[in-house]
Amino acid sequence: MKTFKAKLAAATLVAPYSLLHAQVVTVPSSTSTVRLQTLDPAATNFEAPAGTVIAVATDDGLNANNTRNWNLVNRGTITGTNDGISLGALTPGGSRFENYGTVSTSATTGVGPFGGLYANSGATVINHAGATISSGDRAIHMGAPGTVTNNGLLQGGRTRSSSCRAGRSRRAPRARFLA
């Protein structure tokens, strides 16, 4: 029993969160918005492997709606003109995003929050060493409380705002940003 626990702990430290689950759906390269809810109508675990390129000229790079809590790992490059990634959640803060690659948006003005990553229901976000989340507006925009752990680069273009913007809630504090 002790050996099993030690092996499980080692696997947990090495493998990304979503890879510990039974089914992981591969996110394909695309020049139009990849919508996780239509890519697989039942899955919650997705990975964009190294070499994946999503480059969208007129919308989000990747969209995940509020129908479930998502686990998304990015090792590729995801770019949109609204949000790089728009990540919803069934429950507030219920989705998780791990970034080993690049997520960006070129948006700087107009209607919308414009984040490299926009988590409208909050999320747990881990930006790993060597990874980048960037935007001409905000690198990360949380519409509700969440947690950001950053070991990579978060770069926003707003002069009067930090690279991260956290939503407010009457019952919960702003998102926590951990370095």
Token readout for 64 is 């995940």
17 within domain boundaries: no
Tell me how far apart the terminal alpha carbons of the chain are, to the nearest angstrom: 35
In the chain, the largest separation of any two C-alpha atoms, in whole Å, equals 57
44 within domain boundaries: yes
Q: CA torsion sign, 156 to 13 to 172 to 42?
A: positive
112 within domain boundaries: yes
35 within domain boundaries: yes
Domain carrying residue 100: 23-178
Give pLDDT tens digits along the chain (179 positions).
333 333 333 333 444 554 554 599 999 999 999 999 999 999 999 999 999 999 999 999 999 999 999 999 999 999 999 999 999 999 999 999 999 999 998 766 555 557 899 999 999 999 999 999 998 888 999 999 999 999 999 998 764 434 554 443 333 333 444 44
14 within domain boundaries: no
